[in-house]
């Protein structure tokens, strides 16, 4: 879903050709998530087949034709559906979660609460796992920094849980 949201986000702003979509998306999602042509163009074809986007061919002299993609009304509906659809397993995926946080301003209160509750549940599971690892490696002399790292992770999780609680209170 992440890739589709990224592509549709770019097309919501303006019609674009593939290279533009890739360049703009790279700025949006950051340096660690790369979109390559083998991911982008099959996804564009799929979304075109579904009617979410259209493709117009722009003829260029002396160069390959450019395919300009635009979002359709159905694509806009699909975009909103993707944002609201947040399976529990995606709550552990930082990209999926942050993409939805970035669009909280267009989601209704129920969708926002659902996303936050699923993320909260995932964070509680991660916290329990960090506790388990802390106990497991507490006496391990071969991993001297583990205890510090696990504590840092637990502190980070607790800060995010506090933030989620604040966000949920604001949503009430």
Confidence (pLDDT) at 140: 66
Residue 66 shares a structural domain with residue 127: no
Q: Are 77 and 41 in a shared domain?
A: yes
Q: Report pTM.
A: 0.78
- The answer on 61 and 29 residing in a single domain is yes
Q: Do 49 and 111 sit in the same domain of this protein?
A: no
Each residue's pLDDT tens digit, 97-147: 988 888 888 888 899 999 999 999 999 999 999 988 888 777 666 666 777
Q: Give residue 142's pLDDT.
A: 60
C-beta of residue 160 within 8 angstroms of C-beta of residue 116: no
Residue pair 168/116 in contact by the 8 Å Cβ criterion: yes
Q: Give the DSSP H/E element, type plus range, for residue 70.
A: strand 66-71
Residue 97 within any structural domain of the chain? no
Domain count of the fold of the chain: 2
Q: Is residue 90 part of a domain?
A: no
Q: What is the mean pLDDT of the chain?
A: 88
Q: Which long-range contacts (CB under 8 A, 24 or more apart) does 31-35 make?
A: 33/95, 35/3, 35/6
Residues 7 and 43 in one domain: yes
Could you tell me if residue 159 is inside a domain? Answer: yes
Residues 111 and 166 in one domain: yes
Residues 19 and 57 in one domain: yes
The tens digit of pLDDT for each residue in 42-94 reads: 999 999 999 999 999 988 888 888 899 999 999 999 999 998 889 988 999 88
Same domain flag for 9 and 61:
yes
Same domain flag for 51 and 118: no
Q: Which two tokens stand for residue 58?
A: 């722009």
| Same domain for 78 and 34 | yes
Which residues constitute the domain of residue 70? Answer: 2-85
76 and 123: one domain? no
Is residue 16 domain-shared with residue 68, that is, in the same domain? yes
Question: Looking at residue 141, what is its pLDDT?
Answer: 63
CATH number of domain containing 20: 1.10.10.10
Residue 29 has pLDDT above 80, yes or no: no
Structure tokens that stand for 76 in this block:
């806009």
Q: Which of 114, 161, 154, 117 is nearest to 133 (CA)?
A: 154
């Amino acid at each position: 879903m992440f890739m589709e949201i990224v592509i549709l986000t770019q097309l919501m702003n303006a019609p674009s050709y593939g290279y533009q979509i890739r360049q703009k998306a790279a700025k949006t999602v950051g340096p660690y998530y790369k979109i390559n042509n083998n991911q982008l163009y099959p996804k564009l074809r799929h979304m075109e087949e579904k009617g979410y986007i259209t493709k117009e061919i722009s003829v260029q002299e002396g160069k390959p034709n450019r395919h300009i993609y635009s979002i359709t009304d159905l694509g806009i509906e699909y975009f909103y559906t993707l944002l609201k659809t947040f399976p529990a397993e995606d709550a552990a995926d930082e990209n999926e979660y942050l993409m939805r946080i970035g669009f909280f301003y267009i989601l209704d209160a129920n969708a926002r609460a659902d996303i936050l509750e699923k993320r909260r549940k995932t964070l509680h599971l991660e916290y329990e796992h960090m506790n388990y690892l802390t106990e497991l490696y507490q006496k391990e002399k071969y991993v001297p920094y583990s205890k510090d790292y696990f504590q840092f992770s637990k502190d980070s999780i607790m800060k995010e849980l506090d933030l989620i609680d604040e966000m949920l209170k604001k949503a009430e």
